[in-house]
Structure 1
Amino acid sequence: MVQPVVAISSVLALDVGGKRVGLAVASLAARLPQPLTTLIYDDKFYDSLTQIISTEAVTTLVVGFPRGLQGQHTDQTVAIEAFAKQLAEKIALPIEFQDEALTSKHAKAELEARGKPYDKGDIDALAATYILGDWLAEHQEAVV
């Protein structure tokens, strides 16, 4: 007898930049964030993102939220709020914000320490992994 396949829901984190969006994913069962990919923020972005959301069984989006070092809003904060508003209009999933302080800096340092070639997209995807890890740590309860 064939058993039905049950999709385990996942959370997708986005590290949004001016040109690229780094993505990381974690299943809610394993809760281990993994870098996924980096998408170019262009006219194909939402189609690509929708496909990833479907493939990964995503039920929640986590967007990195930038602030100044003293916690103040910056120009980038305003840009991310506008991005999240547009994202909510195009994709019907819950969107949560997570502080992204120093995630790109830490991602770059980790990639440099590995001693292997990397590009800006690798930094973005790894930064999204840090964002997702922080979000998961703050949300220990099951999210479906």
Structure 2
Amino acid sequence: MKAKNLLGLDIGTRRIGVAVANSSIKIAIPLTTIEVNDGDEILQINKIIVNEKINTIVAGLPRNMSGEETAQSVYTKEFLENFKLSVNEIKFQDESLTSVQAENILKSYKKPYTKGDIDMQAAAIILQDYLEENF
């Protein structure tokens, strides 16, 4: 199987956490946080897709405690429509509790962190979970 460059996204209405990985290395790396701002976030993500030669987007899909999709799930799916022509495939990964996991990881570093850092780390967790399940 040919190696793929993957982009992990933790999509929110204020910020989008971004992580990258290569399927042959299987390690998700937090990359950046993008502020949602009048469509500029779409341009920024497209720039990352080009620069990192991304084949696949893996986005966290929110679900409620019963496992059902939420209004945020619909928002996420609609947002990803912007990238259908930019990548070969768009995949979804359950993002349950990834923000909690991300904050716990950042707390363990005993350094100050921001909400953006949490989103970026959550994107890496989403992408890492996908890598472990699929490669």
Q: Structure 2-normalised TM-score?
A: 0.90
Preserved contact between residue 20 and residue 124 of structure 2 (Cα < 8 Å): yes
Which consecutive unaligned segments of at least 5 residues does structure 1 have?
1-7
Match of 2:94 in 1: 99
- Mapped contact 2:7–2:18 kept (Cα < 8 A): yes
SS in 2 for 1:101: coil
CA distances 1:85-139 after superposition (whole Å, capped 9, x unpaired): 3332x63431111100000111011111211011011000100000001101111
Larger Rg: 1
Question: Partners in 2 of 1:77 and 1:37 — Cα distance?
Answer: 22
Aligned partner of 1:135 in structure 2 is 130
- What residue is the counterpart of 2:19 in the other structure? 24
Number of the residue aligned with 1:53: 49
What is the aligned partner in structure 1 of residue 73 from structure 2?
77
Structure 2 gaps, min length 5: none
Identity %: 39
Q: Are the aligned partners of 1:98 and 1:135 in contact in 2 as well (CA < 8 Å)?
A: yes
Contact preservation (8 Å) 2:61, 2:93: yes
The one-letter amino acid of 1:54's match is V
Which residue does 2:108 correspond to in 1?
113
Cα deviation, residue 9, structure 1: 4.0
1:62 to 44, 58, 62: 58
Moved more, 59-68 or 76-85: 76-85
Query: In 1, distance between residues paired with 2:132 and 2:65?
Result: 21
Residue from 27, 30, 45 that aligns with 1:35: 30
Separation in 2, partners of 1:44, 1:78 = 20
What count of residue pairs does the alignment treat as equivalent? 132
The answer to whether the 8 Å contact 2:49/2:86 transfers is no
In 2, distance between residues paired with 1:39 and 1:93?
22
CA displacement at 1:29 relative to structure 2: 2.1
SS at match of 1:58: coil
